[in-house]
Chains A and B, each alone.
Chain A
Amino acid sequence: MAVCIAVIAKENYPLYIRSVPTQNELKFHYTVHTSLDVVEEKISAVGKAMADQRELYLGLLYPTEDYKVYGYVTNSKVKFVIVVDSSNASLRDNEIRSMFRKLHNSFTDVMCNPFYNPGDTIRSKAFDGMVSTMMVQTS
């Protein structure tokens, strides 16, 4: 399960970012922000070849000692970043993919809301709830 999930706008400002435990929030913000470097690198690397059939899932962006950072980019260049605890080795690539898919679906729902103004930070409860199910449960 993820320790941090972030949705980042095309212009690279955060639309949504949530992490557990909360006291480390700042660190996660730094991690997610730095990961954008790799996201951009990956997008531009693939972008030239075949922008159309590009896979949305970017895979492991970079590992750190404590966390693994995975990335995903929608066709509208909104980035999803999931940070997973390194010690949580039971998570397979497929599970990360399915997490991203769920995130993307939920994000699409948010965008479909006529009252949501694209570009605003996401405050949807449904989205928040869905993210909660993917986060590490802190008891």
Chain B
Amino acid sequence: MEAHEEKPIIYTMENKPIVTCAGDQGLFTSLYNSLALQLPKEPMEWRRSYGRAPKMIHLEANFVQFKEELLPKDGNKALLTFPFLHIFWTDCCDTEVYKASVKEDMLRWQNTLRAHASVDWLIVVVESDAKKKNKTNILPRTSIVDKIRNDFCNKQSDRCVVLSDPLKESSRSQESWSSFLTKLRTLLLMSFTKNLGRFEDDMRTLREKRTEPGWSFCDYFMVQEELAFVFEMLQQFEDALVQYDELDALFTQYVLNFGAGDGANWLGSFCSPVRSWNGLLLRRPIDMEKRELIQRGEASLLDLRSYLFSRQCTLLIFLQRPWEVTLRALELLHNCVQELRLLEVSVVQGALDCWVFLSCLEVLHRIEGCCDRSQLEANCSHTVGLWTYATEKLKSLGYLCGLVVETGPTSEDLNRTVDLLAGLGTERPETANSLQSPYKKLKEALSSVEAFEKHYLELSHAAMEMYRAIGRMRSARLVGKSLAEFYMMKGDPERAEEFLEESLRLYVAEGWSLQVTHTRKQMAECQKLLRQTEDYLQTSALLASDVNLTTEERTHFCQEILSFASQPPGPSDQIVALSMAAFAQLRQLQFSPPGAVVHVGAALQLELRVRSLMPVAVHVGQLAATLHFSLEQGGARGRAGSAQRRVDGQGDGVVLFPHGSPLSGVGAGASLPPALELYEVQDRSPSDSSLNSTGVVCKNVHLLLRRHDSAASLDTPTAGALPAAIAVDDGAQMLRAHDVTLQPGDNSILFTAPTGEPGSYTLRQLCGCVGRVQFVQSHIYPVVQYEVYSQEPKLTIEPLSDNLLAGIPQKVKFTIATGHYSIKKGDALQLSNTDSMPILHSRHCSATILSSTAEHLGDSALSIQSSEKVTSISLPPTPPYHTLEFQLEVLCHIPAVPLKLDSERLTNGEVRHRHKSRSYADSDMICIDQKVSIDCPWSIYSTLISLTFYVPFKAKHSLLSAGRRKYIQMCLQNVSDTNFYLADLVLIERQPVTSVELLSLNAKTQQLVFSQQTVFCLWEMRWAKDLPPCLQCAFSASFAPISTSDPRSAFKTYCYEFQLDRVSTIYSVKAEISPASGDKHCRTGTLCGLEVSITRQAESSENEGEEEESTDLEGLKTTKLMYEVMDNSSNWAVCGKSSGVVSMPVAASATHRVQMEVMPLFAGHLPFPNIKVFKYLPHSAVQAIQPDTDSCLENDNLSLLDKGLDDQGDTASIRSRGSVHSVGSGEQQREPQRGLPMPRLEPFSPGQVFNWTQGRQVLVLPATDDHVMEVNIT
């Protein structure tokens, strides 16, 4: 039997619900062990009120002997000591005994219970066979139980249970045990539910009274904590935690309300000044000291919070949630600080720091105590906050107690330390033996400067390590920076530097300007102490240009640089090179002249606009830009380069440098890649400047592809010695400006660029010297360059208009680019004269001199002398790299003969001119290339210049016949864009031996011919005897441009020569259409007769004889002709045979008639169908005659026709539209030699056949209408 007679000692884990035992104590003691063992074995479901989720719980109990004192008195709300169940044990089996004593005991027991209104009881009757055997007068065992039930369990028969043979190992005993245990558990739970429910109701009632005066939070706290204890006792830690959280929230709300002006009276006790700050105590499950303080209403705010948290912590650790402890701890610590501030509790300065420091470490110790190392490392993110907080607090304590300054604490500091230590009280017994307790640490840290440093560094490094481990680099850097501050305070800049540098790098990389400024200031201080002159000056420069600082600060840093710069350099001192970026910014650079391409020796000025970032005016001894000179030039390359520059939009000669203040530039530059800068590049072939390749080039690849971590290296002043690139480059070529004073803001500096040698000059480095200090910009971007070229003198001749016209005077422009040659007095151009292109020089001719920038400098007269062979133009004196322009008139004679292709002639030995006739692609103009040879004064060689002239006219001739009469028609087309007067149209026969007379039928007057117009003119041929087989004619016309003032004198002649062959008429063809018999007129749809008669006009001449294949047939000379009637306009249908071959005797007036039938298809005056006559050449003549495509074609047709005749007899109808088939009559015309090479057809020359039917018409009436058209109108 367990004795719990005294007040129960509350130790969480040992608390169990109390069950009292009455009756036979001996019996219970024998059963106690198995009971205590079996009870928690099986869980029971606990259904709970207020909709809380049911839970399975393992019940345990504390069995105590029943005593009346255990029963709670009225108003006692204690739950922990509350007996939840009362059990009466008996093993009585004898009625007598029962009646004698047991019943009485039970009655007394029951009465006592009833007096205390306790209804949770149970009677256990234990039966054992052994006992029964001993007794003789044994009643059936049921009877006793029945009796008891009868006596006590009025309606509650389940309140009495039987336990049979509990100490035996039998199935019966097992069964009875289990039913007993179930009963016991059920009853216990019922009791819990009932009693806890009642308790909770009471508690709620109490809480509702909180607005009433006199309500005390501490009292309520005790009540609700009681509930928490019970839950904890029942292992319901979650529920227990809820109770504490509710208390926490309630208290917090009160504090907030107090802050809002709604103060509760009871809060007054918590507002008492804080006297003890010994931190949290988490090593005990329940801090009884604090609990008692609360119970007595004497707890301070820190006491209450500490106690509350220690309980929460305990429960959370039971719940295996240590990380929540750390989270809540941080929250609690912050909260407490806030609450104390809110409640205006007076706290000794530093006391809270102590409390927080101790608490942080205590929590960390507690967590370390319940987790293993790997777990701790994995959860750094949860603990690191506490570490940092502790570090911060220790640091502020250190500052407070004078432990940080180099001189050590003053007496005042020491007093303060003593006060703080006093508030810690004595160390708690739990930690007294541990060497590393928070209490000891704090005490030690506050005891001496060295100990403080040791502890502070330890904490800082621990925090930093943890931050680093979990990747919180920014936090780590912040701790590092605070460490740096500490080192600075301690006068240890060496160690501070590293941390500052790390932080600064981070801030610069991420572009946080305020941090950068702040850290940089600390850095400057550090560097100054370390005597790192160069770095310090660089940092100073950056700070002097930092807009985040006040003007005074900036001026201070600027003065630092200036005063250093003005010191006379020591013998070993070198010049200090600093980055220009901090000092000044390039804004723009303007070239004058804007093209940035000048000739050797020309003046080129560069205006550099610089924005000084210094707060005061700075006198710069020398501002110099080194130039990189490269020879890559040459005419074509140089030009391409400048063209490319123009593409960049720098045509105005202005190079803009990227904007942005240095700081924002750094931030953006490090985080954002710079924009791509693309340029178009064209590579032209040097010979004819045709495009070889074109492409796009990214000019800032070096920026884009640069490694990222080194991006800010230039801007961090801590990078030790500046990169090698900053080393001042002493190039031979330099732009220099001396004694420049840079005012804050924009400044304009003028440089004169050296242009001594041809080549390209690139600005590489900019360097400003201020005393011993040099500000160097290692590269200038975008690339700035200019080109200096040297040019050979050059002469070009260009037409003034688009095309030069031959035959009329044309102006050409002479342009002389002098290049490096200067034209002296007496220098002259020598033009070799040619017959085909004389140079017309007027009296006043003047030349214009232009400067290299196309500036008009003046005019001067030219004197031109012509000798027989040479025209000499004496040039006015012109300086180098100028342009001389003048105009001359030239005339190109039109060659009289339409020249054969590529005929060349050489006039005199040296001048070769070539006329090339070719068809001008667009205008169909004939052009003449005229070469001019010129001797220039600057060269021993002659310059050949080609000019192309276009012939303005195009002439065509044609032969027209009327019977035997012949006419020649000329067609003259003006193919130029100029309008002309035309006069004196003459056609002559060039062979005067022939007796042909040409009679003009044209107007004699002058006429106008506009551009693209055509003039026709006609001559009749008259002859006395025979016509010659061939006529040589020459046509000439005078023309003058309309614009000329004096057309008479300006008239030039255009000549055209041609030859006419086979002029005379050999055959005449007549045709007659006769209407069908009986009709007066032809009618549509009726067949009409067509009679074709071919008459030979002339005897065979020698000429014709050659061409005409004549055969002798029975002594008669005949030729074969083929005729063909066809109607292309579909007016006629030729019925029957439409073509045939006839043999014509070679004799004058020999006539052949052919009859045919045609049918008009339309009514009206219809033109006659076409009648064509061809020479019909038998196959034997094939060799004699040049094959001709046209005739071959005809040949094929004919052979087809012949075959058709063979098969069908007639295919002529194929050609006609009419469907009438008639049997042809020309079968005798069939070719005698079949299967041999085909005969051929050859057309006559235009004048040889005269067709009388040309232009004749015949009237055709419509067919009589015997069709009735019905028209219905509805």
- A residues near B (Cβ < 8 Å) are 9, 11-14, 25-26, 29-30, 33-34, 36-38, 40-41, 62-65, 86-87, 89-90, 119, 121
Q: Which residues 241-277 in B have Cβ within 8 Å of A in the complex?
A: 256, 259
Q: Is B671 an interface residue (CB 8 A)?
A: yes
Which B residues are in CB contact (< 8 Å) with A62? 385
Q: Is B793 an interface residue (CB 8 A)?
A: no
B471 and A41 form a contact (CB under 8 A) = yes
Which A residues are in CB contact (< 8 Å) with B651? none
Q: Which residues 296-339 in B have Cβ within 8 Å of A in the complex?
A: 330-331, 333-334, 337-338
Q: Is B144 an interface residue (CB 8 A)?
A: no
B256 and A29 form a contact (CB under 8 A) = no
Which A residues are in CB contact (< 8 Å) with B474? 33-34, 36-37
In the complex, A4 Cα to B338 Cα: how many Å? 19
B664 and A63 form a contact (CB under 8 A) = no
Q: How far is the CB of A38 from chain B (nearest CB, A)?
A: 7
B668 and A119 form a contact (CB under 8 A) = yes
- B residues near A (Cβ < 8 Å) are 256, 259, 330-331, 333-334, 337-338, 341-342, 381, 385, 389, 467, 470-475, 478, 507, 510-512, 514-515, 518, 664, 667-668, 671-672
In the complex, A14 Cα to B664 Cα: how many Å? 10
20 A-B residue pairs with CB within 8 Å = A9-B671, A11-B672, A12-B671, A13-B510, A29-B515, A33-B510, A33-B515, A37-B467, A37-B471, A37-B473, A41-B470, A62-B385, A63-B330, A63-B331, A63-B334, A65-B337, A86-B334, A86-B338, A87-B338, A90-B256
In the complex, A52 Cα to B471 Cα: how many Å? 24
B514 and A64 form a contact (CB under 8 A) = no
In the complex, A54 Cα to B1264 Cα: how many Å? 99
Which B residues are in CB contact (< 8 Å) with A30? 478, 515
Q: How far is the CB of B330 from chain A (nearest CB, A)?
A: 7
Which B residues are in CB contact (< 8 Å) with A29? 512, 514-515
Q: Which A-B residue pairs are the 7 nearest by beta carbons?
A: A13-B511, A11-B671, A37-B472, A29-B514, A13-B667, A12-B510, A37-B474
Q: How far is the CB of B98 from chain A (nearest CB, A)?
A: 68
Known: A38-B472, A65-B338. 18 other contacts (CB 8 A): A12-B511, A12-B671, A13-B671, A25-B514, A29-B512, A29-B515, A33-B512, A33-B515, A34-B478, A36-B474, A37-B471, A37-B472, A41-B381, A65-B334, A65-B337, A87-B341, A87-B342, A89-B256
B514 and A26 form a contact (CB under 8 A) = yes
In the complex, A21 Cα to B853 Cα: how many Å? 62
In the complex, A100 Cα to B330 Cα: how many Å? 25
Closest to B477 in A: A34
Which B residues are in CB contact (< 8 Å) with A12? 510-511, 671
Closest to A120 in B: B668
With known contacts A12-B671, A119-B668, A121-B664, A41–B472 Cβ distance under 8 A: yes
Interface centre among A26, A64, A65, A90 (most CB of B within 10 A): A65
Which B residues are in CB contact (< 8 Å) with A41? 381, 470-472
Which B residues are in CB contact (< 8 Å) with A87? 259, 338, 341-342
B672 and A119 form a contact (CB under 8 A) = yes
Q: How far is the CB of B381 from chain A (nearest CB, A)?
A: 7
Q: How far is the CB of A64 from chain B (nearest CB, A)?
A: 7
Which B residues are in CB contact (< 8 Å) with A40? 471
Which A residues are in CB contact (< 8 Å) with B341? 87
Closest to A90 in B: B256
Closest to A37 in B: B472
Which B residues are in CB contact (< 8 Å) with A65? 333-334, 337-338, 389
Which A residues are in CB contact (< 8 Å) with B667? 13
Which A residues are in CB contact (< 8 Å) with B337? 65
Closest to A29 in B: B514
Which A residues are in CB contact (< 8 Å) with B385? 62
Which B residues are in CB contact (< 8 Å) with A33? 474, 478, 507, 510, 512, 515
In the complex, A9 Cα to B670 Cα: how many Å? 13
* Cross-interface CB contact of A13 among B259, B467, B471, B512, cutoff 8 Å: B512
Which B residues are in CB contact (< 8 Å) with A121? 664
In the complex, A64 Cα to B1012 Cα: how many Å? 95
Q: How far is the CB of A57 from chain B (nearest CB, A)?
A: 19
Which A residues are in CB contact (< 8 Å) with B475? 34, 37
Q: How far is the CB of B868 from chain A (nearest CB, A)?
A: 76
Closest to A40 in B: B471
Closest to B327 in A: A63
In the complex, A119 Cα to B673 Cα: how many Å? 12
Q: How far is the CB of B981 from chain A (nearest CB, A)?
A: 66
In the complex, A30 Cα to B518 Cα: how many Å? 10
* Cross-interface CB contact of A64 among B334, B471, B473, B672, cutoff 8 Å: B334
With known contacts A33-B512, A87-B341, A26–B472 Cβ distance under 8 A: no
Which B residues are in CB contact (< 8 Å) with A13? 510-512, 667-668, 671
Q: How far is the CB of B251 from chain A (nearest CB, A)?
A: 13
